[in-house]
Amino acid sequence: MDMRKPVVVVGLLALTAVLAACDGGGDKGENGKAAQAALKQMRWYTPEQVAAGEKLYRENCASCHGADASGSANWREPDANGKFPPPPLNGSAHAWHHPKHMLRMTIKRGGIPIGGSMPPFGGKLDDDEIDAVIAWIQSHWNDEIYSAWARRNAQAALAGARK
């Protein structure tokens, strides 16, 4: 039996409990504030990854998704070719709905397979660089959006650990 799976499952359950406390139904009391502070410390990335990701984002992503990750204003509407314009990555669109492995896959493979125009970056960026880009993007997400993403990501990881 692989002894890492129980540790991963217990860790994910603890993370899910903290994230649930962060959600707290809008509770801004002491428990809600403590949970939000815990969440800030629990983001998966480091300041160094964010700094590296900023440079990589500017070089590879900003021309389409905007320097501030605001994307195209009409990102929900297909263009004349039936392709969707670049969505915002700043937490105001759908990127936060996807677990980290899906964000990585989209950057590696591009958006063409899912109806967009984004080219694949798997041949240009390695895994650490892709994670750095994701870190920079997620550093723009407010705590509420990041908390919702982290719950989804933890659930996806937990489902994968059960297999």
Other beta carbons within 10 angstroms of residue 70's beta carbon come to: 17
Other beta carbons within 10 angstroms of residue 102's beta carbon come to: 14
**Concatenated DSSP letters of 20-43:** HHHHGGG--SHHHHHHHHHHHHH-
Can you read off the two tokens belonging to residue 3? 């002894």
The distance of Cα 66 from the centroid of its chain, to the nearest Å, equals 17
pTM exceeding 0.85: no
Which amino acid type is present at position 81? Answer: N
Superfamily of domain 45-138: Cytochrome c-like domain (1.10.760.10)
pLDDT digit string, tens, across residues 118-142 = 999 999 999 999 999 999 999 999 9
Q: For the chain, what are the domain ranges?
A: 1-43+144-163, 45-138
Give, in degrees to the nearest 5, the angle at Cα 79 between 74 and 80: 150
pLDDT digit string, tens, across residues 7-32 = 444 444 444 444 454 444 445 566 66
Token match 């670049």: residue?
86
